[in-house]
Amino acid sequence: MITKKHLKSGKEILPAFWNDNALTLMPGETKMVNVKVRKDLLSLEPHIVAEGFNVVPTSWNLSTKSKKKMRFRIENMEIRKDKGPACLHFSARQAGDRGTRITTCPVKLTIDGKLYRYVSVAVKHGMNITGRVELSGLKPGMHKIKMGNSSKKIIL
């Protein structure tokens, strides 16, 4: 998903007319896309935000040509086991950037230093979300879980 937004308000510039806004690219591939918007909105330091299923959302300032990856914080991880497999419950929030739209980010979940899976987290600035991941196939005992910026030792 590619959107144009204002730096200060974080709001999308609408309407925006793209020649292609549903891209599929393999690693190393590039594609030029064009967008048409009202000229009076471009004086507000426009940004382009690119996000996707398997990429960290990134914001480009079109005035300064600087780029910045959007950051997410994983907080309050805990393991709950009711019926069935244990579940990792967590909360997340977007750190830093402002914005009014929901942004999706893949977050790496490792258990005992090995990739377990990626979790897609969708959140907007100022909003906390909660989620859970089923932890199937783990042997009983001590495990070290790391999700994004947060880590915790657990006993199953």
Which residue from 156, 25, 150 is spatially nearest to 87, judged by alpha carbons?
Answer: 156
Question: Length of the chain in residues, anyone?
Answer: 156
- pLDDT of residue 37 exceeding 90, the answer is no
Which amino acid does the sequence have at 117? Answer: R
Domain ranges of the chain: 2-69, 72-155
Which residue from 105, 109, 100, 108 is spatially nearest to 138, judged by alpha carbons?
Answer: 109
CATH architecture under which domain 72-155 falls: Sandwich (2.60)
Name the token pair of 109.
């979940």
pLDDT at 151: 93
pLDDT band at residue 43 using 50, 70 and 90 as cut-offs: low
pTM over 0.85: no
Mean pLDDT of 96-111: 77
Which residue from 77, 62, 86 is spatially nearest to 109, judged by alpha carbons?
Answer: 77
Higher-confidence residue: 65 or 9?
65
Q: How many alpha carbons lie under 13 Å from residue 60 in its C-beta half-sphere?
A: 8
